[in-house]
């Protein structure tokens, strides 16, 4: 398949090649190797054990739940699980790294190759391969702005469990990269293995970018570190692509290096680290023996996995007749699906109801939420009330049009749709005698138009419907109104 | 690896990797010492490692996920050469 | 006769029978320590604390609630973190470090009623074989050759010197390549390095994590058994600790070695061994045979590669383990520096002694880019070969007998000057660390010049009980003359 996302340079077209390394904080109560808490935002150094702060003689002991979370993640991303894995030490000196080494699964990761299907805006899907996922410790935080000549070290984050997920260089556009992260974030949140909160740093991206002529070998890549939003990701990639193209086209060449993204300028810049500091001297951590996982535990975790986004989309499409795109919108955020599925049980019409309900969630409900910048969990209309509203429509108690008014009252005033319909007198009229009286009245008042209609001006039928509905304040059942209008106009 | 590769430059480079400042006399002394040591380590080249399989099958201990530690700021910082605001203080780190 | 000359077993009986009080026992030790400062055994005293504990211990004797080591005064190697008591690993870089926590091994000892007299001298971060490399100056053996003190061995030199010189009834040591057994042999006392994983490493300052193991140094095999059973435990805070029940080592000693197969590894008869030690070894074999043991020649073909492998694995691990001493969170920080890297380099350049710096450079080098396979991986393969050797040999024998050291102790100033010859001190002990098996040194002979000689017993994993039994049998025949009780 040819890439339609090419960049035009002075000398021709260029293709971007993107690979990602994503650090996702594991959801766990305590740290990877110590019993200190992981919660965000505590006072400096209060969530630190003597293990995290590298005191003499302190030893790491692995958190079983972090291992299980990584396995769940691997299973959710169709990855192989390695029953034998091991922790290595990555040695370097930095004040926020108390031991002088980071414990990380460098040589033998817990999770092996897998793949993710990324949904693109043109309705197509792209497969992005996962190279591996390994467990490692986060470092602490250096605070530079409290003093002109000192940095301060807070170790609250030191030792928090991270999953580092490394993709193959399979992405060919900003959209593919961004949508990969969106999809990944969605899956991790379904699994409950990472909260996906990019602002708090629970998910951070390192982006490997290179450019090449379409069809050529990979070019030299740069790695841009610690990008913490989708927007910045887009900016960082665009900036790197332009920089690399200009560099090559002006006769230079790209240097393989680590770069830092500057969010205020939207630019990347070289970190210019000393060559020696890259000699990490990895070797197996002698304080830890191999991590050995039994097949029974993998099976148990596989069986307890929740239904994931792709499976949900399939189910929604096949059982409810949703369009794939609509289904994807519904499942992207775990909370939206939870809302949708919470009301689904209350839907009475199992044939038409779910699809109508889904349209209302992605239409009216999303509209109202967006207007007030609310999340679905903050919705002023509960899932069961919205489902009741759908039931009123499918039971022909109100029309879709009236339902929108009812929804408006539900949103602003609260209350169940039934009580609103009752108190506001919005119930649909289906009684034929009552409607016939009104239709006859309308026809009588529009004598001339009736004559025109009968002379063949069929288009006037809609006019009569409108007049009847107006007279009934929108409450007439459209089918009954149509039927009676036709009967009377044709003198039946 | 031959002992001839051990030079004062190499010793200084490795000492920097280990973040150890050496005096010139120490560089000289370690260069000589290391030549001797690495020459002696050469004997491992005699060993036939063809069929050596590393056995590494004793599983590491695991712990349950519970908050059992932390909230000991005083213990964490009271030995520090320099601290302020409940944090360790170091010369400014420039990135 | 001074109470300090008693073994732990005798002291316990005396306390039980109210022949003397815990306070008297402790005070006599304090007095003797004060009178023998020239041995430089203790680097930190905890006398006040010891006397307070003595009163509590006495209470327990009075009410019949005495625990296994109630009131027994011990010295603790300065490698074990002791809560609220300065712990330095005899390094300048930790000269002011006061841990807010207790190591599992010392906690276990205190929970059994033991009393700490103070922290014992050692080679800085346990790197050394003569206790010459301590920030607080060399520790000495009470034994002399002529007028000069012998070196006590290392790295647990303060521990061995203190126990041999009656400055403690027993002491903790730590053994990475022979650091308990070699000083025990040099000082004419008993020391055991148990199976890797037998004692917790929690709170023990790491030298080489995969080889380090805690153990006791005492004046009798029985005492070593008693101390070890109170030091050892499974510890959920040490991921390499083993959940194997700790037997009553002391009570199980019966010295019955009839029919026991004792392996004599032929490769241990190496060139450079002092002829007097070779002779002692042969005699010790005959003693065991006379008591009904069967001597079997065994082969451990990769023995000669153990020491080179050790001098790759141990420095490699140390280079990483000691990276935490950076002047940021505790310990020494250089006075003047230009920037962060300079602070690290100056702090560590000033804070570490010469031998530690040398080993950190060796360790950093063997792990650096392009050298991992040539050194570390090769050393790990040698380790595998040595493990296989022992596994095969222990199919045929229950225990092995070897000398502990190839030479007896030298006097201070006469130590070998080149590092490789110095490292050869560990040549007979290091295999036990590489293989993770238990090893014990028992004093058996004096050379003609009056220098102690120790024999080493090696056993399969977790068969410390066999070592104690054979060791006690050996001890009984040897009737080794302890350092004069004067």
For C276-306, what is each residue's pLDDT tens digit?
Answer: 999 999 999 999 999 999 999 999 999 999 9
Q: Is pLDDT of C4 > 50?
A: yes
Contact pairs from chain A to chain B, CB under 8 Å: 134
Q: Which subunits count as partners of chain C given 3+ CB pairs below 8 Å?
A: A, B
Smallest CA–CA distance, residue B50 to chain A, in Å, is: 21
Task: Give the 3-state secondary structure of residue A278.
Answer: helix
Task: Give the 3-state secondary structure of residue A194.
Answer: coil
pLDDT digits (tens, 9 = 90+) for B3-61: 458 999 999 999 999 999 999 999 999 999 999 999 999 999 999 998 899 999 999 99
pLDDT digits (tens, 9 = 90+) for C51-74: 999 999 999 999 999 999 999 999
Name the DSSP class of A134: E
> Which one of B37, B44, B88 has the shortest CB-CB distance to C329?
B88
Residue B25 falls inside a structural domain: yes
Q: What is the pLDDT of residue A4?
A: 75
Instruction: From A380, A400, A423, give the residue that closes a domain.
Output: A423
Strand C73-77 and strand C115-120: the pairing is parallel
Q: Is pLDDT of B63 > 90?
A: yes
Residues 6+ apart with CB under 8 A from C249: C225, C226, C228, C229, C464, C465, C468
Query: Which range scores top for mean pLDDT: A6-10, A350-354, C134-138?
Result: C134-138
Same domain, A81 and A194: yes
- Selected for mutation to probe chain B from C92, C127, C303, C364 (highest B CB count within 10 Å) is C364
Residues 6+ apart with CB under 8 A from A250: none
Residues 6+ apart with CB under 8 A from A327: A312, A313, A316, A317, A358
Q: What is the CA radius of gyration of chain A?
A: 30
Residue A249 falls inside a structural domain: no
> Which one of C96, C97, C349 has the shortest CB-CB distance to B20?
C349
Question: Which residues are registered as beta bridge partners of C265?
Answer: C298
Structure tokens at A142: 């250096």
How far is residue A291's CA from residue B61's CA, in Å, rounded to a whole number? Answer: 8
What's the whole-number average pLDDT of chain A? Answer: 93
- Selected for mutation to probe chain B from C196, C346, C362 (highest B CB count within 10 Å) is C362
- Selected for mutation to probe chain A from C323, C343, C360 (highest A CB count within 10 Å) is C323
- Selected for mutation to probe chain B from C331, C358, C367, C418 (highest B CB count within 10 Å) is C358
Q: Is pLDDT of A275 > 60?
A: no
> Which one of A45, A147, A271 has the shortest CB-CB distance to B73?
A45
> Inter-chain contact C204–A57, Cβ cutoff 8 Å?
yes
Q: Among A29-33, A417-421, C155-159, which stretch is predicted with the lowest mean pLDDT? A: A417-421
Q: What is the pLDDT of residue A125?
A: 93
- Asked if A287 reaches chain C (Cβ–Cβ under 8 Å), the answer is yes
Tell me the chain A residues in contact with residue B58 when contact means C-beta distances shorter than 8 Å. Answer: 289-290
Q: Which subunits count as partners of chain B given 3+ CB pairs below 8 Å?
A: A, C
Q: Is pLDDT of C219 > 90?
A: yes
Neighbours of C120 (CB within 10 A): 33
Q: Are C9 and C218 in contact (CB under 8 A)?
A: no
Same domain, A334 and A474: no
SS (H, E, C) chain C: CCHHHCCHHHHHHHHHCCCCCHHHHHHHHHHHHHHCHHHCCEEEECHHHHHHHHHHHHHHHHCCCCCCCCCCEEEEECCECECCECCCCCCHHHCCCCCCCCCHHHHHHHHCCCEEEEEECCCHHHCCCCCCCCCCCCCCCCCEECCEEECCCCCCHHHHHHHHCCCCCEEEEEECCCCCHHHHHHHCCEEEECCCCCCCCCCECCCCCCCCEEEEEECCHHHHHHHHHHHCCCCCCCCCCCCCCCCCCCCCCCCCCCCCEEEEEHHHCCCCCCHHHHHHHHHHHHHHHHCCCEEEEECCCCHHHHHHHHHHHHHHHHHHHHHHCCCCCCCCCCCCCCCHHHHHHHHHHHHCCHHHHHHHHHHHHHHCCCCCHHHHHHHHHHHHHHHHHHHHHCCCCCEEEEECCCCCCCECCCCCCCHHHHHHHHCCCHHHHHHCCCEEEEEEEECCCCCEEEEEEECCCCCHHHHHHHHHHHHHHHCCCCCCCC
Supply the range of the domain harboring residue A327.
309-423
What confidence tier does A399 reach under pLDDT thresholds 50, 70, 90?
Answer: confident
Smallest CA–CA distance, residue B70 to chain C, in Å, is: 13
Q: Is pLDDT of A273 > 70?
A: no
Q: Are C71 and C61 in contact (CB under 8 A)?
A: yes
Q: Within its chain, how far is the Cα of C191 from the centroid?
A: 6
Structure tokens at A220: 């030299």
Nearest CA-CA partner of A453 in A465, A461, A445: A461
- How large a percentage of chain C has pLDDT more than 70? 100
Same domain, A439 and A407: no
Same domain, A291 and A336: no
Q: Are A254 and A248 in contact (CB under 8 A)?
A: yes
Q: Flag whether the pTM goes above 0.90.
A: yes
Smallest CA–CA distance, residue B66 to chain C, in Å, is: 14
Q: What is the pLDDT of residue A274?
A: 47
Contact pairs from chain A to chain C, CB under 8 Å: 98
Catalytic amino acids of C? 77, 155, 179
Question: In chain C, which among 341-400 make CB contacts under 8 A with chain A?
Answer: 341, 344, 364, 367-369, 372, 376
> Inter-chain contact C100–B72, Cβ cutoff 8 Å?
yes
Nearest CA-CA partner of C427 in B35, A287, B43: B43
Helices B24-41/C354-367 angle, 10° precision: 60
Q: What is the pLDDT of residue A272?
A: 66
Same domain, A313 and A297: no
Name the DSSP class of A381: S
Residue B51 falls inside a structural domain: no
Residue B91 falls inside a structural domain: no
Name the DSSP class of A365: I
The backbone torsions φ and ψ at residue C272, rounded to the nearest 5 degrees and listed phi first, read 95, -10
Same domain, A82 and A211: yes
Could you give the number of structural domains in chain B? 1
Same domain, A345 and A441: no
Supply the range of the domain harboring residue B17.
3-45
The backbone torsions φ and ψ at residue C250, rounded to the nearest 5 degrees and listed phi first, read -65, -45
The backbone torsions φ and ψ at residue B33, rounded to the nearest 5 degrees and listed phi first, read -60, -45
Supply the range of the domain harboring residue C410.
1-486
> Inter-chain contact C316–A283, Cβ cutoff 8 Å?
yes
Q: What is the CATH number of the domain that holds B7?
A: 1.10.20
Residue B85 falls inside a structural domain: no
Smallest CA–CA distance, residue B43 to chain A, in Å, is: 23
- Residue indicated by tokens 């590894």: C265
> Which one of B59, B65, B92 has the shortest CB-CB distance to A29?
B65
Same domain, A377 and A469: no
Q: What is the ipTM of this complex?
A: 0.96
pLDDT digits (tens, 9 = 90+) for A43-64: 999 999 999 999 999 999 999 9
Residue B39 falls inside a structural domain: yes
Same domain, A349 and A400: yes
Residue B75 falls inside a structural domain: no
> Inter-chain contact A57–C203, Cβ cutoff 8 Å?
yes
Residue B52 falls inside a structural domain: no
Q: Is pLDDT of B95 > 80?
A: no
- How large a percentage of chain A has pLDDT more than 90? 77
How far is residue C30's CA from residue C23's CA, in Å, rounded to a whole number? Answer: 10
How far is residue A265's CA from residue C274's CA, in Å, rounded to a whole number? Answer: 74
- Asked if B33 reaches chain C (Cβ–Cβ under 8 Å), the answer is yes
Tell me the chain A residues in contact with residue B86 when contact means C-beta distances shorter than 8 Å. Answer: 43-46, 154
- How large a percentage of chain C has pLDDT more than 90? 96
- Asked if B73 reaches chain C (Cβ–Cβ under 8 Å), the answer is no
Q: Is pLDDT of C389 > 70?
A: yes
What confidence tier does B85 reach under pLDDT thresholds 50, 70, 90?
Answer: very high
What's the whole-number average pLDDT of chain C? Answer: 97
- Asked if B27 reaches chain C (Cβ–Cβ under 8 Å), the answer is no
Residue B34 falls inside a structural domain: yes
Tell me the mean pLDDT in the region C148-164. Answer: 97
Strand C452-458 and strand C439-446: the pairing is antiparallel
Smallest CA–CA distance, residue B42 to chain C, in Å, is: 9
Q: What is the pLDDT of residue C126?
A: 98
Q: What is the pLDDT of residue A19?
A: 98
Q: Are A259 and A271 in contact (CB under 8 A)?
A: yes
> Which one of B47, B60, B75 has the shortest CB-CB distance to C100?
B75
Tell me the mean pLDDT in the region A292-314. Answer: 97
- Residue indicated by tokens 């083993």: C242
Could you give the number of structural domains in chain C? 1
Instruction: From A423, A447, A479, give the residue that closes a domain.
Output: A423
Q: Is pLDDT of B91 > 70?
A: yes
How far is residue C281's CA from residue C264's CA, in Å, rounded to a whole number? Answer: 10
Q: Is pLDDT of C157 > 70?
A: yes
What confidence tier does C310 reach under pLDDT thresholds 50, 70, 90?
Answer: very high
Instruction: From A401, A423, A445, give the residue that closes a domain.
Output: A423
Could you give the number of structural domains in chain A? 3
Q: What is the pLDDT of residue A199?
A: 85
Residue A14 falls inside a structural domain: no
**Per-residue CA distances from B74 to B85, C88, C93, C332 (Å):** 12, 20, 21, 19
Residue A255 falls inside a structural domain: no
Q: Is pLDDT of A1 > 70?
A: no
Q: Is pLDDT of A91 > 60?
A: yes
Q: Is pLDDT of C216 > 50?
A: yes
Smallest CA–CA distance, residue A235 to chain B, in Å, is: 21
Q: What is the pLDDT of residue A276?
A: 44
How far is residue A152's CA from residue C197's CA, in Å, rounded to a whole number? Answer: 38
pLDDT digits (tens, 9 = 90+) for C71-107: 999 999 999 999 999 999 999 999 999 999 999 999 9
Alpha-carbon torsion (C334, C337, C342, C343), positive or negative: positive
Q: What is the pLDDT of residue A271?
A: 82
């Amino acid at each position: 398949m040819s890439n339609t996302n090419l960049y035009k340079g002075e000398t021709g077209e260029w293709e971007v090649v993107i690979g990602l390394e994503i650090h996702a904080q594991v959801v766990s109560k305590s740290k990877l190797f110590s019993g200190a808490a992981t919660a965000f935002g505590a006072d400096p150094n209060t969530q630190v054990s003597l293990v995290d702060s590298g005191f003499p003689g302190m030893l790491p002991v692995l958190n079983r739940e972090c291992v299980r979370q990584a396995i769940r993640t691997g299973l959710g991303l169709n990855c192989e699980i390695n029953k034998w894995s091991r922790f290595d030490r990555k040695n370097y000196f930095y004040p926020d790294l108390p031991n002088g080494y980071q414990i990380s699964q460098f040589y033998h990761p817990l999770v092996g190759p897998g793949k993710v299907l990324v949904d693109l805006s043109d309705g197509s899907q792209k497969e992005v391969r996962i190279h591996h996922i390994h467990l490692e410790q986060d470092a602490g935080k250096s605070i530079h702005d409290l003093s002109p000549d000192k940095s301060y070290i807070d170790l609250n984050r030191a030792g928090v469990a991270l999953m580092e997920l490394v993709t193959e260089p399979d992405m060919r556009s900003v959209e593919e990269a961004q949508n990969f992260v969106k999809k990944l974030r969605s899956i991790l949140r379904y699994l409950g293995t990472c909260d996906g909160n990019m602002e708090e740093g629970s998910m951070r991206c390192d982006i490997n970018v290179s450019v090449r002529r379409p069809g050529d070998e990979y070019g030299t890549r740069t790695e841009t570190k610690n990008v913490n939003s989708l927007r910045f990701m887009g900016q960082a990639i665009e900036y790197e692509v332009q920089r690399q193209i200009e560099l090559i086209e002006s006769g230079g060449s790209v240097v393989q290096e680590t770069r830092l993204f500057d969010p205020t300028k939207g630019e990347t810049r070289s970190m210019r680290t000393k060559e020696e500091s890259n000699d990490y001297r990895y070797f197996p951590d002698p304080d830890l023996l191999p991590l050995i996982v039994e097949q029974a535990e993998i099976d148990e975790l596989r069986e307890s996995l929740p239904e994931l986004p792709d499976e949900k989309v399939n189910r929604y499409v096949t059982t409810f007749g949703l369009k794939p795109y609509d289904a994807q919108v519904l499942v992207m955020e775990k909370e939206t699906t939870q809302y949708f599925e919470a009301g689904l049980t209350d839907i009475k019409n199992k044939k038409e109801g779910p699809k109508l309900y889904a349209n209302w969630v992605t239409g009216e409900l999303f509209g109202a939420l967006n207007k007030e910048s609310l999340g679905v969990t903050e919705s002023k209309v509960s899932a069961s009330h919205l489902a009741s509203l759908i039931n009123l429509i499918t039971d022909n108690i109100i029309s879709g049009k009236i339902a929108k008014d009812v929804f408006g009252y539900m949103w602003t005033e609260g209350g169940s749709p039934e009580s609103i319909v009752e108190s506001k007198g919005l119930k649909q009229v289906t009684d034929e005698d009552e409607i016939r009286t009104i239709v006859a009245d309308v026809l009588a008042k529009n004598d001339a138009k009736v004559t025109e209609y009968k002379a063949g001006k069929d288009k006037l039928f809609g006019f009569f419907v409108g007049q009847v509905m107006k007279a009934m304040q929108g409450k007439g059942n459209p089918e009954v109104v149509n039927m009676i209008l036709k009967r009377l106009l044709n003198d039946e | 690896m031959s002992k001839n590769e051990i030079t004062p430059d190499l010793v200084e480079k490795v000492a920097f990797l280990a973040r150890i400042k050496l005096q010139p006399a120490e560089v000289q002394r370690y260069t000589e010492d290391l030549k001797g040591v690495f020459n002696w380590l050469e004997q491992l080249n005699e060993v036939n490692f063809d069929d050596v399989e590393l056995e590494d099958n004793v599983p590491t201990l695991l712990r349950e996920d519970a908050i059992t530690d932390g909230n000991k700021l005083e213990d964490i910082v009271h030995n520090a050469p320099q601290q302020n605001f409940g944090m360790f203080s170091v010369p400014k780190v420039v990135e | 006769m001074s109470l300090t000359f008693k073994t732990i077993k005798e002291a316990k009986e005396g306390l039980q029978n109210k022949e003397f009080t815990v306070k008297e026992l402790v005070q006599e030790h304090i007095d003797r320590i004060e009178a023998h400062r020239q041995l430089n055994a203790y680097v930190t005293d905890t006398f006040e604390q010891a006397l307070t504990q003595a009163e509590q211990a006495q209470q327990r004797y009075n009410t019949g609630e005495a625990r296994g080591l109630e009131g027994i005064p011990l010295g603790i190697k300065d490698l074990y973190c002791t809560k609220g008591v300065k712990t330095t690993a005899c390094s300048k870089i930790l000269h002011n470090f006061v841990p807010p926590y207790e190591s599992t091994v010392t906690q276990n000892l205190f929970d059994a009623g033991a009393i700490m007299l103070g922290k014992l001298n050692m080679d800085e971060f346990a790197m050394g074989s003569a206790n010459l490399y301590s920030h607080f100056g060399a520790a000495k053996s009470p034994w002399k050759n002529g007028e000069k003190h012998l070196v006590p061995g290392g790295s647990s030199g303060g521990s061995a010197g203190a126990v041999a010189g009656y400055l403690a009834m027993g002491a903790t040591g730590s053994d990475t390549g022979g650091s308990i057994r070699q000083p025990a042999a040099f000082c004419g006392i008993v020391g055991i390095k148990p199976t890797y994983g037998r004692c917790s490493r929690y709170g023990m300052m790491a030298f080489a994590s995969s080889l380090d193991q805690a153990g006791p140094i005492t004046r009798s095999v029985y005492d070593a058994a008693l101390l070890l059973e109170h030091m050892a435990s499974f510890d959920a805070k040490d991921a390499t600790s083993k959940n194997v029940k700790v037997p009553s080592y002391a009570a199980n000693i019966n010295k019955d070695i009839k029919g026991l197969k004792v392996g004599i590894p032929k490769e241990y008869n190496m060139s450079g061994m002092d002829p007097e030690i070779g002779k002692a070894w042969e005699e010790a074999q005959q003693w065991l045979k006379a008591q009904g043991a069967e001597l079997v020649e065994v082969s451990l073909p990769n023995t000669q590669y153990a020491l080179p492998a050790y001098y790759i694995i141990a420095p490699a691990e140390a280079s990483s383990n000691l990276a935490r001493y950076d002047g940021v969170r505790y310990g020494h920080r250089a006075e003047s520096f230009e920037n962060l890297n300079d602070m690290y380099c100056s702090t560590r350049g000033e804070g570490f002694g010469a031998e530690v710096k040398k080993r950190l450079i060796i360790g950093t080098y063997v792990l650096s880019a392009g050298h991992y396979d040539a050194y570390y991986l090769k050393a790990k393969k040698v380790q595998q070969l040595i493990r296989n050797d022992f596994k095969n040999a222990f199919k045929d024998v229950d225990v092995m007998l070897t000398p502990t050291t190839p030479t007896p102790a030298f006097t201070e100033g006469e130590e070998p000057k080149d590092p490789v010859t110095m490292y050869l001190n560990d040549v007979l002990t290091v295999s036990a660390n590489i293989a993770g098996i238990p090893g014990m040194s028992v004093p058996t002979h004096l050379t003609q010049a009056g220098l102690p000689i120790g024999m080493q017993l090696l056993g399969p994993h977790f068969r410390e009980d066999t070592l104690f039994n054979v060791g006690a049998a050996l001890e009984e025949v040897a009737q080794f003359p302890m350092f004069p009780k004067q």
